[in-house]
Amino acid sequence: MFAIAEDGSILLKISTEEGMYRVLAYMIGKLIAAKLKATDDPGLTLGDLAVLSNINVSELNTLIAKSKYFVYVGHGKFRFNTVHLKEALDELERAPITES
């Protein structure tokens, strides 16, 4: 399913829950990439996360603030909270998978 954004771009329609799973998986991937020195910065801006999740910025900001999996690191960036890595991986494993 697709949606059209205000600027005319075509977006994949996903649920809020599925969007947050995408963000969580991507943030863990960014952390791994930083550990492997493939990237200098494991952080993402709220705008980056909104594009990944297809959730509007204000709703996403509220969801991230309530989540134990993300921490604000300054300069407008968030990163994965490594204290909860096992819990996050377990949650991703249980996540419902939808096929297109």
Residue 100 placed within a domain: no
63-69 long-range Cβ contacts below 8 angstroms, 24+ apart: 63/16, 63/20, 67/20, 69/24, 69/27
Mean pLDDT, the chain, integer: 82
What secondary structure does DSSP assign to 54-83, as a single string? Answer: T--HHHHHHHHHH-SSEEEEETTEEEE-GG
Domain range enclosing 50: 15-94
CA 100 distance to own-chain centroid: 20
pLDDT in tens, 3-39: 566 666 555 444 557 778 888 888 898 888 988 999 8
Q: What letter would DSSP give residue 96?
A: P
Q: How far apart are CA 56 and CA 76, in angstroms?
A: 16
Domain total in the chain: 1
Question: Against a cut of 0.75, is the pTM above it?
Answer: no
Q: What letter would DSSP give residue 38?
A: S
Q: What is the pLDDT of residue 1?
A: 45
pLDDT band at 93 (very low <50, low <70, confident <90, very high): confident
CATH number of the domain residue 60 falls in:
1.10.10
Region of poorest pLDDT, from 2-16, 30-44, 47-61, 72-86? 2-16
Residue 50 placed within a domain: yes
